[in-house]
Amino acid sequence: MEAWRNALKRLTNATLAEAFPGVLPPPYQRAGVAVGVVHLGPGAFHRAHQAAGFDRLLADDPRWGICAVSLKSPGVRDALAPQDGLYTLVELGEATRYRVIGAVKEVLVAAETPELVALRLASPQTRLVTLTVTEKGYCLGPDGALDLRHPDILADIAAPERPTSVIGWLVEGLALRRAAALPPFATLSCDNLPSNGRRVRDAVIALARLREPALADWIAATARFPCTMVDSITPATDDTLRQRAAAALGLEDAWPIQREHFTQWVIEDDLGADRDALSVIATLTPDVEAWERAKLRLLNGAHSTLAYAGLLRGWQSVRDAMGDADLAGFVRRLMLEDIAPTVRPPAGLDVEAYVEALLVRFRNPAIEHRLSQIAWDGSQKIPIRVLATVTDAIATGASLDRLAVPVAAWMRFVVRQACAAVVLTDPLQIDLAAIGQACTGEAGPDVARFLALEAVFPRALASHDGFVAAIERAYGRLPDLPA
């Protein structure tokens, strides 16, 4: 263990008062906080974004404490339980700010203590269930519907009262509330899924109907699943951040979190009695999909482009990739000339100004956002972030040359990793590794191998001559970029 850790006390309720001046403590007494939110998937983004928002609410309203639930991994629990749920949020920019977040009251691991998770979901105090489980965590098929062949869903069908999947837990929690004559909690997916609320609602109702049709009907009639859009660049935690947080606090924090100053939470205006409370920390709108499309296509699409093209050009972070004038210029043209025409801007959003602001955020000198982190789960992200834009561009007869680049760069990235025997972080890792190992570097056959992967490429797109030709051109040209 590093010497600096041996010399420091651990961040806890008891030691918080010993934190160095300049660190912002929770602006409320934690003893009076009640758990009103169950969060499934307490990774870095949740703790940087939603939990930080609820921390602000707790200054005036003690109902918004969080029970953080990891479905399987004990890592977050093991880090935060000895700290009484406290952790440091490091906000990065020209001036760095350190906040201790106190909103997480407890951390549970569903696989170890399912009975405690069930009690929280069924508690009359629970108002919201929020989710950040990544795109793959919802067990959806390529068509966006619940994948009834997924192993976790099969397990939930066989043993519905001991859930495995996030959808299974939502169904079980709602079933318990119905049995206790309690109103349903509202469910907020905070993952990058188009129409995320509707997709989760459909999946929950589909699984509930297999369990008990009357339960499915009750959920359909009474439960709320507002769509959401979330945004804040959140690099992964590493030992450099741990040391930086320790130096600022004078206390050891096993799992601090970092993000940019900018944060945005847009929620569909369908929250019932909790509407006014959440309006303090979120933008409520009847048109989340317009905000979502702008963010998914412009920010996330650009991020994926930087990740795959940047890695092929030898860069390791977004900041460094943006220092590549050719790549940065290409991404700007892609956003303004190819993606922006497919975006229906919501009221109050100037698309050109939004693009320029994104480019400034990408260049944030205080953030080391690893391209390898953005590259995770490409088979799940590419269809949402890029292929939907390609489909719209085809419908209008627009050029596909620039839009083909992130897709081709992902293919080249997969091939590179497979040839180096590096295991991909992707739910289709086995299939992708086999494809990557079979590739020879010849554009036509290599691209055809990828396009045959129906879990990623819809048949109509994979057989579109213009799209195929554009991918082959980009694949053969990379790491060079088109004008």
Of 398, 387, 395, whose CA–CA distance to 456 is shortest?
387
Secondary structure, 3-state, the chain: CCHHHHCCCECCCCCHHHCCCCCECCCCCHHHCCEEEEEECCCHHHHHCHHHHHHHHCCCCCCCEEEEEECCCCHHHHHHHHHCCCEEEEEECCCCEEEEECCEEEEEECCCCHHHHHHHHHCCCCCEEEECCCHHHHCECCCCCECCCCHHHHHHHHCCCCCCCHHHHHHHHHHHHHHCCCCCCEEEECCCCCCHHHHHHHHHHHHHHHHCHHHHHHHHHHCCCCCEEEECCCCCCCHHHHHHHHHHHCCECCCCEEEECCCEEEEECCCHHHHHHHCCCCEEECCHHHHHHHHHHHHHHHHHHHHHHHHHCCCCEHHHHHCCHHHHHHHHHHHHHHHHHHCCCCCCCCHHHHHHHHHHHHCCCCCCCEHHHHCCCHHHHHHHHHHHHHHHHHHHCCCCCCCHHHHHHHHHHHHHHHHCCCCCCCCCHHHHHHHHHHCCCCHHHHHHHHHCCCCCCCHHHHCCHHHHHHHHHHHHHCCCCCC
Strand order in the sheet with 97-101: 97-101, 87-92, 257-260
Domain positions in the chain are 3-286, 289-477
- pLDDT value of position 38: 98
Residues in the chain: 483
Q: Does domain 3-286 have CATH number 3.40.640.10?
A: no
From 346, 224, 351, select the one nearest 287 (Cα to Cα).
346
Q: Which fold has domain 289-477?
A: N-(1-d-carboxylethyl)-l-norvaline Dehydrogenase; domain 2 (1.10.1040)
- In order along its 483 residues, the chain shows pLDDT tens digits of 465 566 799 999 999 999 999 999 999 999 999 999 999 999 999 999 999 999 999 999 999 999 999 999 999 999 999 999 999 999 998 899 999 999 999 999 999 999 999 999 999 999 999 999 998 999 999 888 999 999 999 999 999 999 999 999 999 999 999 999 999 999 999 998 889 999 999 999 999 999 999 999 999 999 999 999 999 999 989 999 999 999 999 999 999 999 999 999 999 999 999 999 999 999 999 999 999 999 999 999 999 999 999 999 999 999 999 999 999 999 999 999 999 999 988 888 899 999 999 999 999 999 889 999 999 999 999 999 999 999 999 999 999 999 999 999 999 999 999 999 999 999 999 999 999 999 999 999 999 999 999 999 999 999 999 999 999 999 999 999 998
pLDDT of residue 94: 83
166-201 burial, b for 16+ CB within 10 Å, e for fewer? bbbbbbbbbbbbbeeeeebbbbbbbbbbbbbbbbbb
Phi, psi (degrees; rounded to nearest 5) at 324: -85, 105
pLDDT of residue 6: 66
